[in-house]
Structure 1
Amino acid sequence: MEQFNFEKLEVYQKTLNFVDLVYEITKSFPREELYGLTSQFRRASISIALNIAEGSGGSKKEFSRYLIIASNSLKECLVCITIAKRQKYIDSDTEKDLRYFLTEISKMISGLRKYLRQ
């Protein structure tokens, strides 16, 4: 099966893995959070992948702009993680795992932005 260029990016693949993890974890969130934190966390995680994909087809400058938007969605995910932990929807180990995942994605996005500036 043919792939688009963005599908070959390691950061894109890692982001999809993060989305899978977010979906799995949010399944255990309280039902009353379905249209609140659960929805927001899922949408923010998806937004990271969507912006990487959408920006990849344009110019270097345009791609860099989309990577900034992806980084902003990543920060949104961090806030969702913090809220989930404070509300006791996730434990410390899960929080640590999610934050580590996002740290890696953030470094990859930063590296890609530096590459694009060259």
Structure 2
Amino acid sequence: MSFKFENLIIWQKSMDLGEEMNLLVKNFPKEEIYNLFSQLRRAADSVALNTSEGSILQSNAEYRKFLGYSIRSLAEVVTCLHKAIRRNYLPKKDFDRYYKNCFDLMNMTIAYRNKIK
């Protein structure tokens, strides 16, 4: 027994992203706890949350809208990563890895969204 979204690779990868960002922010300075720390965690978690929420009892149009929210949350994560690297909270190699993961997940989500008519 499972919810249909649990089988989606985009949901699984977005769950991983949320956990990675949660670990990442633990290295941020304490003064960021209510700013970038919180924003990055919430944005990353929103990717999976919107993917799952949109998949339950929604029309295809509504589901596409929720997937759009997931895509926009990914853009927010990327912007937070840019802020983190500019503030020297994140090594370039880690930024590059997270950036690629976000880019790949965005493209997968867009492709999935485009298949929903």
What TM-score do you get using the length of structure 2 for normalisation?
Answer: 0.97
Q: C-alpha distance in 2, partners of 1:105/1:59?
A: 23
The code of the aligned residue for 1:56 comes to S
Where does structure 2 lack aligned partners over 5 or more consecutive residues? none
Percent identity over the alignment is: 32
The one-letter amino acid of 1:38's match is F
Q: What is the root-mean-square deviation of aligned Cα atoms in Å? A: 0.7
Match of 1:77 in 2: 77
Give the unaligned 5+ runs of structure 1.
Answer: none
In structure 2, how many angstroms separate the alpha carbons of the residues matched to 1:100 and 1:24?
A: 17
Aligned-partner Cα distance in 2 for 1:104–1:3 = 25
TM-score normalised by length of structure 1: 0.96
CA displacement 1:30-55 (0-9 Å, x = unmatched): 01100000000000000111100000
- Structure 1 ranges of 4+ moved more than 2 A: none
Name 1:3's counterpart in structure 2: 2
Instruction: Work out the CA distance in 1 between the residues paired with 2:114 and 2:67.
Output: 11
Q: How does 1:7-18 map to 2 (within 5 A)?
A: 7-18=6-17
Aligned length: 116
Aligned amino acid, residue 81 of structure 2: I
Q: Is 1:43 matched with 2:42?
A: yes
CA deviation after TM superposition for structure 1 residue 77, in Å: 0.5
